[in-house]
Structure 1
Amino acid sequence: MNNLQLEAVLNDKLSPQLIKDYSPNGLQIEGTSEIKKMVTGVTASQALIDYAVSVNADALLVHHGYFWKGEPEPIRGMKGKRIRTLIKNDLNLYGYHLPLDIHPELGNNARLADLLGIEVIDGLEGHPQSVAMFGKLANPMSGEALAQKIAQVLAREPLHITPDQANKMIETVGWCTGGGQDYIELAASKGLDAFISGEISERTTYTARELNIHYFAAGHHATERYGIKALGEWLASEHGLDVEFIDIDNPV
Structure 2
Amino acid sequence: MERQTLTAYLSDLLMVDRIKDYCPNGLQVEGRAEINRIVTGVTASQALIDTAIEQQADTLLVHHGYFWRGEAPAIVGMKKRRIAQLLKHDINLLAYHLPLDVHPQFGNNAQLAQLMGWQVDASAEPNDPACALLLGHCQATSGEQLAAQLAERLQRPLTCQVTQPTPITKLAWCSGGGQGYIDQAAALGVDAFITGEVSEQTIHSAREQGLHFFAAGHHATERYGAKALGEHLAQRFGVNVQFIDIDNPA
TM over 0.5: yes
1:109 alignment counterpart: 109
Counterpart for residue 211 of structure 2: 213
CA distance in 2: counterparts of 1:199 and 1:160, whole angstroms: 8
Aligned to 2:119, the other structure's residue is in SS state strand
2:160–2:198 contact (8 Å) kept in structure 1:
no
Identity fraction in percent: 55
Is 1:93 aligned with 2:93?
A: yes
> Aligned-pair distance for 1:4?
1.6
Q: Give the corresponding residue for 1:180.
A: 178
- Quick one: distance in 1 between partners of 2:178 and 2:113? 15
C-alpha separation in 1, matches of 2:247 and 2:114:
22
Could you report, residue by residue, the CA deviation over 1:21-68 in whole angstroms, capped at 9, with x for unpaired residues? 010000100001111011000000000001111111100000000000
Q: 1:132 and 2:130 equivalent?
A: no
Q: 3-state DSSP class of the match of 2:101?
A: helix
Query: 1:125 aligns to what SS in structure 2?
Result: coil
Q: Secondary structure at the match of 1:191?
A: coil
Q: Assess if the C-alpha contact under 8 Å between 2:41 and 2:245 holds in 1.
A: yes
Alignment of 1:245 onto 2:246: no
Under a length normalisation based on structure 1, what TM-score does the superposition of the two structures give?
Answer: 0.97
Aligned AA (1:223): T
- Matching residue of 1:17: 17
Instruction: Identify the residue that residue 228 of structure 2 maps to in structure 1.
Output: 230
- 1:56 and 1:141 map into 2 onto residues whose CA distance is 46
Structure 1: gaps (5+ residues): none
| Structure 1 position 5, deviation (Å) | 1.4
Following the alignment from structure 2 to structure 1, what is the Cα–Cα distance between the partners of residues 17 and 2?
22
Provide the rounded CA distance (Å) in 1 between the counterparts of 2:161 and 2:234: 40
> 1:161 offset after TM fit, Å?
3.2
Q: 1:236 to 1:112 in 2, by over 3 A?
A: same
Letter in 2 for 1:157: P
Q: Would you identify which runs of 4 or more consecutive aligned residues in structure 1 move more than 2 Å?
A: 125-128, 159-163
Q: Which letter maps to 2:242?
A: E
TM-score after normalising by structure 2: 0.98
Q: How far 1:160 sits from its partner (Å)?
A: 4.4
Report how many aligned residue pairs link the two structures. 249
